[in-house]
Every structure is written in C-alpha cells, then in structure tokens.
Amino acid sequence: MKKTTDEDKPLLVINRKKGFIIILYDIFYMLWMSATAIVGYLCIQLDNVIPNITGYILVIFTPYAYFCMYNLRQIDCYEDYLVIKRSLCSQTIYYNKLKDYKQLLQEP
C-alpha cells in the first residue's frame, strides 16, 4: 500500500453541488443533447452535401460535449497543478502553463 504524504493530498477539493435544481438542469441538458443528435441524424438523411457534413459533425461531437465538457464531477487543487475530474476522463492543468497562456492573451 502506498503511503500518503502531504504532497499527495490536495489543498482544496471542489465537488459538484447536488440538489433538485441541478438534477432538473441535467435532465433538460440531456434533452437538449438528444434533440441536437436527432437534428444531426435528420441532416444526414438529406440529399445535400453541406447538411450531411453538418449532421455528421453534430452526431460525432454531441457525446463529446456531454461527457467531456459538461459532466464535471470534482476539481482537486494541489501545490503546482489542478486536476479536473469528469465522469469519463480527467485533465491535469499546471499553474505555470496558465501563467504563460495569460501572458499570450494580453499581448497585442
């Protein structure tokens, strides 16, 4: 078993709020994603090239939009980085990279 040290423990843990309004929002968001997928499928059925491409893009990126962008579960903040945990994946962001990104945005 691995020993836990102070470096392994997060400084701050932010969990997603649970409540009736959040559950209601989740239901409406899933309905919106379902409607988007249906519109994409209907666009695929048309005989024109542009709606077909649009339909394929909608059908491919609808699950990505739900599972990888929206479905945020927890944020763990450590000394040098933070970890964003979603239902299917997690992402590590280092603070020094954010500082460089901020400087790039401020330059003309």
Residue-wise pLDDT for 27-79, tens only, equals: 998 899 999 999 999 999 998 999 999 999 999 988 888 777 777 889 999 98
Q: How far apart are CA 69 and CA 2, in angstroms?
A: 32
Task: Judge contact between 67 and 88, C-beta under 8 A.
Answer: yes
Strand residue runs (E) in the chain = 12-15, 72-77, 81-86, 90-94
pLDDT of 1: 47
pLDDT digits (tens, 9 = 90+) for 86-101: 888 888 988 888 777 6
Q: How far apart are CA 54 and CA 67, in angstroms?
A: 20
Q: How far apart are CA 72 and CA 14, in angstroms?
A: 11
